[in-house]
């Protein structure tokens, strides 16, 4: 019985490679695109031909040329470089915002489901109240009161988005919280936080993942929209939403350059959702795995 | 002899698992004649339900017929397309599922659901179908037959709902009914009622039936012939009297032997010294409803106390009060001489460790996303602060204690069988090194062979570790096999308690009498005797 000879388990790296190979084409495409975005964002200063705020041409709205591949913007800055630096700002801000809102929303949602009663009622009504105000108007209002710094922007969007995570995690956790293994954990003397993170969270993760992918895209669009409206990320920081706005005049002249940042946003949204869909299929197909 | 209602000839069914087809029914040949009841017996996973569903021309998703035929009144069911097969279901062949609670739609009235097939496909008008349903309710001895159909599923008891499902199956006067463990989920006392109804209806209407069960005592009351199934093969088929008295196949013999579980008659470990747990004058209520009243009970060290009663008698609530999930409304709990705080949140980790609970359904009691290693590792870290190699060694030791292979540590619960899952749940309780384990119907979801093994293992562990058990159960056979003392509960009160020999020896309390009399004997004709006694 002792020292049962077991074949060495494949290392995590091999497992990961095998996993990626088994992914469907859409997921592979999504991963490739997401990786490319991440690469560009990380190494922006090395890739971009010019600096982020560097005025390189005296000609604003210059056309595409060998020197300036995508032309220049309204101040004569290199459009391609702005696009590359924009990836850095837009993605990192959206990512941080998503993580914060996911953490707050899920923890509170599971906590409310576990504790129930008065606490649940209070939290849920606060969330209802927050959700009843149209997002964009609410954000505009808060930002105009507190000022449009990046920290304020991230926090306000994170809190508003966390209401969505709260609702979905609370509803899903309610179903799981009535199962015997949660009761068994209570009888074992575990605290609410431990139960939420270890017993409930893994079981509602598939549902939350799908929401996570979608919310990441919405946050991205929200930030872009706010920048477009002029209250989001302030100049001279490059940001895709504001780049569309600043160069919108070009569209009238039949130039598609301002649409490139918009297309970049759309492509990332599609790619992220392809990956999330695949993760979702895998996570919910738990029992079929060998 | 008339031609058979259904003829299953060399039927082979494959199921798909991990992208590979494996045979789950391997060449089964059966024939049932009008008015005949065939008992289909075997452990879970033997292919009983698969064959039962195949008789309806139905396959579970991920299954396929790889050979053989199923002929219903001469019509080969798997030679015609699915939508033609559907016309037979409910009209010529009907199905009664194990859990009527799950089979009825909670949002519709019973009558609407019962007459649906008859109106849709049976060619009856709504009024005719309803009249027939009421006649069936009467035949099935349901209360207030004329009004019964206007209730919703949650407004009737489990036994009544199961009979309503029989009525639904009978509504089109089918030639064949497949009963799939129709009484397994019921209490013994309710089971007798439902069995009597089913038996009478089958006899009065002359319908042929396949009766699937793992309970041999039940099949002895209902079936004319029995087919014993193992790994998708019929190992023995014989008339009921013959197979009960003289089973031929070795596997049939083990099934029969398991049923007569070894009764532990050795000197019972009656309490020595101070009791471990003392419950005095305890009561508990949900809202206004008193679920426990004046409970006085003691459990000694190394002793097994069995708590018996029907569902709703409050026995599980008592278990929940002891582990601190339900706050009592009066009375006291004393553990090892110290008062026990009523709620688990007010108990120290050291106290919590000493009393563990094991649940009925290991499916829901184990987190499906945790490996066995994580499930067992948590109490070790929490109560004993074990880490790393020492924890791993203890996990391996626990797995050996519950007779599982050490390699099972890497599995998820979904990759284990029902019996293995319950063993993991037992190991998790043992990981705390408890002094008292509350076993809440832990064997009722397991089939007899596995059940006997688990009980034997628990008794061996008790002898080795000196742990006390509180066995909450409705299964009198389990009580006979394991208990030192027996406590009988009815509607929240203890009606009788004492050493096993005393409680089981006459004279009985009236309720204990009913409970004992409701347990089917492993003998043909037991039900007839009960019916005769009731008629007298």
pLDDT score at B313: 83
Residue range A218-244: average pLDDT? 80
Whether residues B316 and B427 share a domain: the answer is yes
User: Residues B394, B433: contact at Cβ < 8 Å?
Assistant: no
A150: domain CATH number is 1.10.3720.10
Q: Do B239 and B283 share a structural domain? A: no
How far lies B192's CA from each of A199, B43, B155, in Å? 40, 22, 21
Structural domains of chain A, count: 1
Query: Is A118 inside a domain boundary?
Result: yes
Section A266-272 average pLDDT: 88
pLDDT of residue A20: 79
Q: What ipTM was assigned to the predicted interfaces of this complex?
A: 0.73
Find chain B residues with C-beta within 8 A of A179's C-beta.
364
Of B259, B285, B315, which one is at a domain's C-terminal end? B259
> How many alpha carbons lie under 13 Å from residue A84 in its C-beta half-sphere?
22
Q: How far is CA B76 from CA B32, B72, B494, in A?
A: 15, 6, 57
Residue A101: other Cβ atoms inside 10 A = 26
pLDDT band per the 50, 70, 90 thresholds, residue B265: low
**Residue B347 lies inside a defined structural domain of this protein:** yes
Residues of A in contact with B364 (CB under 8 A): 179-181
Q: Which residue from A6, A187, A190 is facing B323, i.e. has the nearest CB?
A: A187
Q: How far apart are CA B8 and CA B38, in angstroms?
A: 13
Question: H helices within B79-157, ranges in order?
Answer: 82-88, 100-103, 110-120, 126-139, 145-148
Domain of B219, in residue numbers:
6-259
pTM: 0.77
Chain center to CA of B267: 30
Spell out the alpha helix ranges (H) of B268-387.
315-323, 349-354, 362-365, 372-384
Q: Which position has the higher pLDDT, B515 or B136?
A: B136
Structural domain boundaries enclosing A133: 89-288
d(CA B251, CA B249): 5
For A17-44, the pLDDT digits (tens) are 887 787 888 888 999 998 998 888 888 8
Separation of alpha carbons A283 and A111, rounded Å: 23
pLDDT of residue A11: 67
Domain co-membership, B331 together with B240: no
Residues of B in contact with A287 (CB under 8 A): 368, 414
Do B446 and B350 belong to one domain? yes
* Same domain membership, residue B215 and residue B94: yes
The C-alpha atoms of residue B521 and residue B501 are separated, in whole angstroms, by: 19
What are the pLDDT digits (tens) for B15-40?
877 677 888 888 899 999 988 999 99
| Nearest CB neighbour to B414, from listed A188, A203, A286 | A286
Say how many Å lie between the first and final Cα of chain B, rounded: 36
Between A222-236, B95-109, B384-398, B407-421, the lowest mean confidence (pLDDT) is in: A222-236
- Nearest Cβ partner for A188 among B18, B352, B366: B352
Q: Quick check: A247 pLDDT over 80?
A: no
Does any CB of chain B come closer than 8 Å to the CB of residue A193?
no
Distance from CA of B345 to the nearest CA of A (A): 7
- The answer as to whether A2 is a domain residue is no
| pLDDT at residue B438 tops 70 | yes
Residue A137, domain member (yes or no): yes
- With a cut of 50, say whether residue A7 has pLDDT above it: no
What proportion of chain B, given as a percentage, has pLDDT over 90?
Answer: 28
Best A9, A184, A289 member to test B by mutation, with max B CBs in 10 Å, is A184
CATH number of the domain residue B183 falls in: 3.40.50.300
**Secondary structure (DSSP) of chain A:** --S---PPPPPHHHHHHHHHHHS-HHHHHHHHHHHHHHHHHHTHHHH-SS-SS-B--SSTT----SSSTT-B-TTSBBHHHHHHHHHHHHHHHHHHHHHHHHHHHHHHHHHHHHH-HHHHHHHHHHHHHHHHS-HHHHHHHHHHHH---HHHHHHHHHHHHHHHHHHHHHHHHHHHHTSHHHHHHHHHT--HHHIIIIIIHHHHHHHHHHHHHHHHHHHHHHHHHHHHHTSSSPTTS--HHHHHHHTTHHHHTT--TTHHHHHHHHHHHHHHHHHHHHHHHHHHTGGG--
Sign of CA dihedral B314, B317, B321, B327: negative
Asked if A187 and B325 come within 8 Å (Cβ–Cβ), the reply is yes
Range with the poorest average pLDDT among A52-66, A96-110, A147-161, A179-193: A52-66
Structure tokens, B146: 């004329």
């Amino acid at each position: 019985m002792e020292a049962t000879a077991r074949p060495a388990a494949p290392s995590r790296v091999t497992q990961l490679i095998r996993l990626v190979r088994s992914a469907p084409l859409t997921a592979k495409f999504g991963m490739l695109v997401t990786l490319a975005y991440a690469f560009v964002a990380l190494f922006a200063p090395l890739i971009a031909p010019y600096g982020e705020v560097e005025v390189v041409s005296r000609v604003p709205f210059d056309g595409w040329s060998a020197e300036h591949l995508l032309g220049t913007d309204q101040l004569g800055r290199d459009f391609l470089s702005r696009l590359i630096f924009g990836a850095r700002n837009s993605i990192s801000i959206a990512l941080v915002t998503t993580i914060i809102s996911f953490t707050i929303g899920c923890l509170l949602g599971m906590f409310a489901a576990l504790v129930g009663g008065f606490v649940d009622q209070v939290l849920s009504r606060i969330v209802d109240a927050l959700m009843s105000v149209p997002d964009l108007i609410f954000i505009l209002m808060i930002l105009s009161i507190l000022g449009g710094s990046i920290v304020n922007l991230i926090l306000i969007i994170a809190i508003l988005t966390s209401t969505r995570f709260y609702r979905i995690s609370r509803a899903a956790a309610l179903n799981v919280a009535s199962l015997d293994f949660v009761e068994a954990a209570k009888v074992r003397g575990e605290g609410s936080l431990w139960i939420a993170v270890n017993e409930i969270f893994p079981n509602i993760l598939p549902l939350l993942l799908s929401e996570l992918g979608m919310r990441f895209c919405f946050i991205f669009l929200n930030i872009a929209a706010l920048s477009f409206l002029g209250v989001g990320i302030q100049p001279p920081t490059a940001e895709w939403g504001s780049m569309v706005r600043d160069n919108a005049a070009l569209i009238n002249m039949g130039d598609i350059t301002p649409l490139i940042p918009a297309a970049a946003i759309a492509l990332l949204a599609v790619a992220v959702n392809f990956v999330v869909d695949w993760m979702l299929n895998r996570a919910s197909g738990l029992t079929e795995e060998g | 002899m008339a031609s058979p209602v259904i003829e299953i000839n060399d039927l082979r069914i494959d199921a798909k698992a991990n992208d590979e087809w494996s045979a789950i029914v391997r060449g089964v040949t059966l024939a049932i004649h009008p008015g005949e009841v065939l008992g289909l017996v075997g452990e879970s996973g033997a292919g009983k339900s698969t064959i039962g569903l195949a008789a309806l021309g139905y396959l579970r998703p991920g299954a396929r017929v790889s050979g053989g035929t199923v002929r219903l009144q001469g019509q080969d069911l798997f030679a015609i397309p699915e939508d033609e097969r559907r016309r037979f279901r409910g009209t010529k062949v009907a199905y009664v599922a194990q859990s009527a609670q799950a089979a009825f739609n909670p949002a519709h009235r019973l009558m609407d659901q019962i007459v649906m097939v008859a109106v849709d496909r049976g060619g009856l008008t709504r009024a005719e179908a309803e009249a027939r349903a009421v006649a069936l309710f009467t035949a099935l001895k349901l209360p207030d037959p004329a009004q019964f159909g206007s209730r919703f599923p949650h407004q009737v008891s489990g036994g009544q709902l199961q009979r309503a499902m029989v009525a639904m199956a009978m509504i089109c006067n089918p030639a064949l009914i497949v009963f799939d463990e129709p009484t397994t989920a019921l209490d013994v006392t309710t089971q007798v009622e439902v069995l009597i109804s089913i038996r009478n209806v089958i006899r009065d209407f002359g319908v042929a039936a396949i009766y699937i069960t793992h309970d041999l005592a039940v099949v002895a009351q209902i079936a004319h012939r029995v087919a014993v199934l193992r790994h998708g093969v019929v190992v023995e088929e014989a008339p009921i009297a013959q197979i009960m008295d003289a089973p031929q196949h070795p596997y049939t013999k083990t099934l029969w032997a398991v049923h007569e579980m070894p009764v532990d008659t050795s000197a019972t470990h009656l309490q020595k010294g101070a009791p471990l747990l003392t419950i005095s004058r305890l009561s508990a209520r949900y809202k206004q409803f008193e679920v426990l009243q004046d409970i006085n009970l003691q459990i000694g060290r190394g002793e097994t106390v069995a708590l018996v009663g029907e569902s709703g008698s409050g026995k599980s609530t008592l278990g929940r009060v002891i582990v601190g999930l339900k706050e009592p409304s009066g009375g006291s709990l004393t553990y090892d001489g110290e008062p026990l705080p009523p709620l688990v949140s007010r108990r120290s980790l050291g106290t919590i460790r000493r009393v563990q609970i094991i649940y009925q359904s290991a499916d829901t009691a184990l987190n499906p996303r945790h490996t066995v290693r994580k499930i067992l590792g948590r109490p070790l870290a929490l109560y004993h602060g074990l880490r790393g190699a020492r924890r791993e060694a203890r996990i391996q030791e626990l797995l050996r204690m519950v007779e599982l292979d050490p390699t099972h540590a890497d599995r998820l619960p979904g990759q284990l069988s029902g019996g293995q899952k319950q063993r993991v749940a037992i190991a998790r309780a043992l990981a705390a090194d408890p002094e008292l384990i509350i076993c809440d119907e832990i064997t009722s979801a397991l089939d007899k062979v596995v059940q006997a093994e688990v009980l034997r293992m628990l008794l061996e562990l008790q002898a080795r570790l000196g742990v006390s058990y509180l066995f909450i159960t409705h299964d009198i056979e389990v009580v006979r096999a394991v208990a030192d003392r027996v406590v009988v509960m009815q509607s929240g009160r203890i009606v009788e308690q004492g050493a096993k020999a005393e409680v089981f020896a006459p004279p009985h309390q009236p309720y204990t009498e009913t409970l004992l009399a409701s347990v089917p004997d492993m003998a043909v004709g037991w039900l007839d005797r009960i019916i005769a006694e009731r008629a007298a």
